[in-house]
Structure 1
């Protein structure tokens, strides 16, 4: 199948589905599909209207097999940045997105969509997340986030230099086409951070833990009706276990369970004491407590699982199958206590979709 024919088929399928969901008439849908087919015949591609872009991005969230928070897919704010000229313009659009989404802690789901692949102004964001802490050192001794070692090294080659702390915020790295990437320091007002404390143990603050308020995923490709966008950073809000049971707890990340266990004087001499489980609970309690204390949106994993089951019911009522990757949908703490644990899902990929793409560095 030729690329042109493939795009035409994907475009027709998307437009038919989207226009039906948008309650357009059958005549409107047929007219638009015909316009797009003619555009593809002339140019080999086509351009989404803003309405198509907006609904397509929302559909991609709804189709995201790894996301437990899909109940709110229709609330996604879509910023159209397809007219972006250069890296500075792209950075400014991203800062505007970050300010809108952070919203003084009352987090709002949003996405900014940059020029499509094949455009002369094609943009690529190097960061995995717009806000992420740097990582320094080697596997034996790491300061900061070990998940950021490669990007930190790439940033340093571009001329950036951090202070060397556990919580150095990495710069925003943007590449236009095949040109050398440029980096931008994130304005202070775009990065909200939450210092962690515990609701019962006042000494918890001695651990000096913190995390950033909003997970802005920025390295995935968005595909809508055969058109791909390499730069489409998006955000929701955090589920507590993402921070407390993964980012701060994983042995290959911040590995804080031993420190928490020592603080709470848990018996670490034997696995049968379940010290890891107890430390995990205390750390996750601290995350939820701290975000709420500072007025920052967050959801616990039990509530998130209940919301997902509501989403599943809503989709069934619309006659749509819910796909999902079970290993991602179950939370990383006490998954057997959630309703998702007892269910199974088809992991088939449906378009529109957010896809992983190779790192550019």
Structure 2
């Protein structure tokens, strides 16, 4: 039974590898005829059940995975993704150190650069390393016993990390969580992020001190760390990647959602709005002002950010470019349309092909449990 299963796995890897190698050579003519490379890959799969991507294949695969990300509106610059190749690293200490270095390089003194760091892949005889965090930088969420501070989304994860031994932060609404890294053949361990790896932006309104005393802030780099990079049948379980923020991700969702920081009532009170009825549109007005504050604050500090109107136009430019190259662009309407002023953006008034393509960034089945801190003991 095990032999049959291994043969079936190898056959799957070979099928995916053929598709990717041909794609890589088709889009990179300087790579030459794919026949010789396919022969090498076939021999490797036959002997080991998997194969190793060349550096050029890894770079192209990671970039195309971004190009194929149906939920991402910011794909216009997919071919500029910086790929950090650390496939030799399997231990938690080294991986945590390189995650911090990833953040330093991606932050780039505020001029944020799209970056991915790729660690050791899964193999037939050994799973690759795993980063438990949803993003490399997230804020802790404390339950009733600690005054209901921080980000409610991360309460389960925070409790799990504390069970691992993390003493907790100073107890502010914006305590940076440690990284939780599980190396190959190891248990999950926590690592504090060095302060110089985490750039944060204080959030202030452009027209007054409405909520300066609240101490609002957000981190500069949104680095997703719980998705797997799949290229041609090879899975990289630890491959954190980032672009830059669109303002609504912070102002409308992270700070505005009722199950996150839920700041709209606070903002409305500070602005003196009538909150007696939804018909006064106090929520809408607060949402706009909160998003203005985010954009203003990032611009003030010279930190890269985009707005939903600009990014919507850029996405249509991306669609045009891809169509000119004969490629279909998959997209999930519910993610592409911004969470505020949707119908005022051009991406609202379209339908999209939802077909998913490979290479791709995919959610692992265990990712949700990890984000909730399940099994962190």
Shared fold, TM over 0.5: yes
Once the two structures are superposed, what CA deviation does each residue of 1:206-227 show, in whole Å capped at 9, x if it has no partner? Answer: 2321111110110001100010
Once the two structures are superposed, what CA deviation does each residue of 1:56-112 show, in whole Å capped at 9, x if it has no partner? Answer: 000000000000000010110000111014111111111111110001110000000
- Determine if contact 1:125/1:173 at 8 Å carries over to the other structure: yes
Given the alignment of the two structures, is residue 137 of structure 1 paired with residue 143 of structure 2, yes or no? yes
In 1, Cα distance between equivalents of 2:147 and 2:28: 54
State the number of aligned residues. 360
Counterparts in 2 of 1:54-203, with a 5 A limit?
54-118=59-123, 120=126, 122-138=128-144, 142-162=148-168, 163-203=170-210
SS in 2 for 1:296: coil
Aligned to 1:24: 30
- Determine if contact 2:90/2:119 at 8 Å carries over to the other structure: no
In 2, Cα distance between equivalents of 1:45 and 1:180: 25
Q: Structure 1 residues 323 and 154 mapped into 2: Cα distance closer, same or farther (>3 Å)?
A: same
- Determine if contact 2:90/2:184 at 8 Å carries over to the other structure: no
In 2, Cα distance between equivalents of 1:89 and 1:275: 49
SS in 2 for 1:173: strand
Aligned to 2:229: 222
Structure 1: 5+ residue stretches without partners:
none
In 1, Cα distance between equivalents of 2:71 and 2:147: 32
In 2, Cα distance between equivalents of 1:82 and 1:287: 36
Aligned to 1:328: 335
Structure 1 residue runs of 4 or more that deviate by more than 6 Å after TM superposition: none
* Cα RMSD (Å): 1.6
In 1, Cα distance between equivalents of 2:146 and 2:265: 17
- Determine if contact 2:210/2:271 at 8 Å carries over to the other structure: no
Given the alignment of the two structures, is residue 248 of structure 1 paired with residue 255 of structure 2, yes or no? yes
SS in 2 for 1:24: helix
In 2, Cα distance between equivalents of 1:121 and 1:50: 21
Higher alpha-carbon deviation: 206-215 or 68-77: 206-215
In 1, Cα distance between equivalents of 2:258 and 2:278: 16
Quote the offset at 1:141 in angstroms.
6.4
Q: TM-score, normalised by structure 2?
A: 0.93
In 2, Cα distance between equivalents of 1:25 and 1:167: 48
In 1, Cα distance between equivalents of 2:282 and 2:210: 18
In 2, Cα distance between equivalents of 1:101 and 1:207: 28
Aligned to 1:350: 357
Q: Structure 1 residues 333 and 140 mapped into 2: Cα distance closer, same or farther (>3 Å)?
A: farther
Once the two structures are superposed, what CA deviation does each residue of 1:302-337 show, in whole Å capped at 9, x if it has no partner? Answer: 000000000000000100001010000000000101
Given the alignment of the two structures, is residue 258 of structure 1 paired with residue 265 of structure 2, yes or no? yes
- Determine if contact 2:90/2:128 at 8 Å carries over to the other structure: no
Q: TM-score, normalised by structure 1?
A: 0.97
Quote the offset at 1:140 in angstroms.
12
In 1, Cα distance between equivalents of 2:286 and 2:47: 62
In 2, Cα distance between equivalents of 1:246 and 1:131: 16
